[in-house]
Structure 1
């Protein structure tokens, strides 16, 4: 973003359960780019990422790699994560921020954010402001707001609907947006491949629940808006009308971070 004002980014998180790679890799990129970083949890409690991704056999087989763990440990020393803002506070608002970021994670604790009507309300107010200045019919966006989400973080957006009295009342903020999220193929492989020893760990809403891809796709105006890629190369989706970038899983975190820095720094 042009000008002398330092762009501000806020991480919206649950108290526990987010993926450490999808949190720490973007944090490191934003810090290195000179962004002003804040964290927010429901009551201002310092967030903790999913420990299974950081230690033990689950880390060795499925979790964060050494560089991501190092980035996570460094992130924990930053003042912003030690003193988060409370997103349930009556005076909390997303308005000061140029970028709102939603990390992912499949641990059941992330439902605190995905299911929060408070966060849904804030997102419904903020997301229209990401509409690009040049977009036809734009009356809300100024080209200075942006949103990023990865994996289950996209579900926070898909679950956020416009309120009664608005032109898109009852529709998800993603209804007319191109997006990606955790592919059903990835989710099924992780779940069935670990079911015998981890149970429903890889199903955020429990065994038999809807997968992330279907949860997101059903709120879109057209199924083709969900961009599905099951290769291992980094992949992100940049919407053409909204300043919104989404990604699938930890392997996309570096590319996602790079694209978001480019957005907010112009």
Structure 2
């Protein structure tokens, strides 16, 4: 059996190093064939504030995650990514699309891309169980799914997540990080600037019944949500990365049996 194929779409700059490298390491350890893609094939770079210096020590990646990121960043698949804006690019051959998060404003390149939204809108409906197609996302990666709209059919114009159970970065976590660092980091923790919706609010807005579909936890214990209809798993923040990776590997492997 061929190794499961994984694609990790990224902005040129700004994704969270833990949310990217910890799942990547788990995918590689499981024998998955992992590819990266950026808009024009430029080598991506994760948020430096989460990797080095005072902000890393206070709120950023652990030493383990920094080592995992440095190892990932030296691989040929990371340094020579595909171009997701190429007319020949397609998600159709992949068994898993994994969307890492990150709050640095550079991640808007991926979230706001109509091209990536179209790719995701074509792919996500194919993950209805049973299927060999899978999607997973964490933090702002969930927002990239939330803004992708179905192009046709009964639910045309609705988010591809409209009927899914999901989580994302809790509004409380985002607010604490923003207000706790505003004096020395400005609006660094608000991806779309002061006054914009939190990730949680933006995701809840696209759900058919957010009170039932949006699952939240403000505890620090690892937390993920697995949808019942789709092969889709979501998580909140870097603290969930190990559990998310474990659950996603198990989902992909089970769906290929």
TM-score normalised by L of structure 2:
0.98
1:244 aligns with 2:227: no
The gaps in structure 1 that reach 5 residues or longer are 134-142
Aligned to 1:147: 135
Q: Write out aligned runs for 1:91-106 (5 A).
A: 91-106=88-103
Summarize deviations over 1:59-111 as a string: whole Å, max 9, x none: 11010010000000000111100110000000100001000000000000000
1:263 aligns with 2:251: yes
The whole-number CA distance in structure 1 between the counterparts of 2:58 and 2:2 is 43
The alignment partner of 1:180 has SS state of: coil
Q: 1:111 aligns with which of 100, 108, 111?
A: 108
Aligned to 1:18: 15
Q: CA deviation at 1:197?
A: 0.5
- Structure 1 segments (4+ residues) deviating >6 Å: none
The whole-number CA distance in structure 2 between the counterparts of 1:82 and 1:51 is 17
The whole-number CA distance in structure 2 between the counterparts of 1:130 and 1:258 is 19
Summarize deviations over 1:169-217 as a string: whole Å, max 9, x none: 0100000000000000000000000000100000000011110000000
The whole-number CA distance in structure 1 between the counterparts of 2:172 and 2:160 is 25
The alignment partner of 2:14 has SS state of: strand
The gaps in structure 2 that reach 5 residues or longer are none
Q: CA deviation at 1:237?
A: 0.1
The whole-number CA distance in structure 2 between the counterparts of 1:5 and 1:239 is 26
The CA RMSD over aligned residues, in Å, is 0.6
TM-score normalised by L of structure 1:
0.94
State how many pairs are aligned. 253
Q: 1:225 aligns with which of 171, 190, 213?
A: 213
Aligned to 1:140: none
Q: Write out aligned runs for 1:64-143 (5 A).
A: 64-133=61-130, 143=131
The whole-number CA distance in structure 2 between the counterparts of 1:96 and 1:166 is 23
Q: CA deviation at 1:254?
A: 0.5
Aligned to 2:172: 185
